[in-house]
Amino acid sequence: MITAVTTAAVSQWRRKTLGKVVFVPTMGALHAGHAALIRRARRLAGKDGAVAVSIFVNPTQFGPNEDLSRYPRPLRADEALCRSEGVDLLFRPDIREMYASDFSVAVSEKSLSLRFEGAERPGHFDGVCTVVAMLFQIIRPDIAVFGEKDWQQLAVVRRMVRDLKFPIRIVGHPIVREEDGLALSSRNRFLPPDARMMAPRIFQALTAAAMEAEGGAKPASLERQLRRDLGRIPGATLSYASIVEETTLEPIGRFTSETKARALVAVKLGGVRLLDNLALPIAR
C-alpha cells in the first residue's frame, strides 16, 4: 500500500495506474462498515484495477457546535485496516493540503441538501460536496463507493455527479449492522451503555414500518407509527422520521406500483446523533 499525504504524490500514483480506480472516501475511525465498502471497491476494481481510500476529517462539514475536535482519529488502526483489506493507495492529507488559508470556492447542492440533515445542520452538505468534489479531482476515480447509512449524503453526491458531469459511477453499499440491528457508525463508540442498549430499537421501528408497508399501510400512517415507536425509546429525542422517494427525497403522499420508498430517521440518544434508513417494500 502506498500512503500519500500530498496531491502531487496522488497524481504521480494516478499517472502510473492503468486499470480501473475505485475510490472509498472516509473520515477515518474505520470499522467493519468501511471494511465492507473497501471489499466492494476491490470487487468492482477487478484484478487489474486499484482501490484508493482517503482519510480526511473534513472541517467544513461540521457546524460550530459539532464534534470536530472530538472526532476519533485512530490513524494507526485505520492504516492497519486499509493494509489488511488490500488497499492500493491511502490518501491522508492534512488540512493545509486540502484548504488554502484564503479558500473561497464551494460546491452547493440546493435542493436535496436543504432537508433532514441539511435542515438540522446548515452548511453540512456544502462541506460534503466541496470536499468530495476536491477528492474526485485529486483521485480521478472511475467508480466511488459510499455507504447507504448516510442515504441523504449518497443522494446529494449522486445529484452533484449528475449535475456537474463528473465522469464517475457512484455505487451505494448496504448498511452493515451489529447483530442487534444497530447500524455501524464511527459515532457509536460515544454511546453511553444505557443508550447503547436502547439503540437497536431504531432498527426495530424501521423493520416494523417495512412490514406494515408490505401489508398495504399508507405513507402517512407509516410515518405516524415510526414517530410513535421512536418517540417511545427511553432517552431518545426524535429529529425526523419520514417516508421519502429514494432519489429525490420528496415526501410521498401515496404509494404507486412505481414508487421506490425509503424510511429515513434520525434520533439523538445519549448525546449521539444516530441516522438510519430502510427501503420499504410496497404492496403491489
Stretch that binds ligand PAF, among 25-33, 85-93, 172-180, 273-281 (CB under 6 A): 25-33
Picking from 85, 71, 60, the residue whose alpha carbon sits closest to that of residue 27 is: 71
Grid coordinates of 100:
488554502
Tell me, by CB under 6 A, how many residues bind ligand PAF: 10
The nearer residue to ligand PAF, 50 or 131, going by C-beta atoms, is 131
Question: Is residue 27 close enough to count as binding ligand PAF by CB under 6 A?
Answer: yes
- Tell the smallest beta-carbon distance from residue 57 to ligand PAF (Å): 8
The burial class, CB within 10 Å (0-12 / 13-18 / 19+), for 28 is: buried
If you ran DSSP here, which 8-state letter would residue 235 be given?
T
By CB under 6 A, name the one of 4, 50, 52, 58 that touches ligand PAF: 58
Which one from 31, 34, 124, 173 is the annotated catalytic residue? 34
Picking from 54, 21, 13, the residue whose alpha carbon sits closest to that of residue 167 is: 21
Q: Which residue has the cell 488559508?
A: 101
The nearer residue to ligand PAF, 71 or 235, going by C-beta atoms, is 71
Distance CA 233, CA 200 (A): 10
The nearer residue to ligand PAF, 129 or 282, going by C-beta atoms, is 129
Here's the x/- map for ligand PAF, 59-98, by CB under 6 A: it reads as: --x-------------------------------------
3-state DSSP of 169-231 = EEEEECCCECCCCCECCHHHHHCCHHHHHHCHHHHHHHHHHHHHHHCCCCHHHHHHHHHHHHH
Question: Is residue 29 close enough to count as binding ligand PAF by CB under 6 A?
Answer: no
Question: Is residue 25 close enough to count as binding ligand PAF by CB under 6 A?
Answer: yes
Stretch that binds ligand PAF, among 40-48, 69-77, 128-136, 212-220 (CB under 6 A): 128-136
Looking at this protein, which amino acid is placed at residue 75? L
Grid coordinates of 257:
406500483
Question: Is residue 150 close enough to count as binding ligand PAF by CB under 6 A?
Answer: yes
The nearer residue to ligand PAF, 106 or 283, going by C-beta atoms, is 106
Distance CA 48, CA 227 (A): 48
Question: Is residue 132 close enough to count as binding ligand PAF by CB under 6 A?
Answer: yes
The nearer residue to ligand PAF, 61 or 239, going by C-beta atoms, is 61
Q: Would you call 124 a catalytic residue per the annotation? A: no
Distance CA 61, CA 125 (A): 7
Contacts with ligand PAF by CB under 6 A lie at: 25-27, 58, 61, 128, 131-132, 150, 153
- So which residues are the catalytic ones? 34
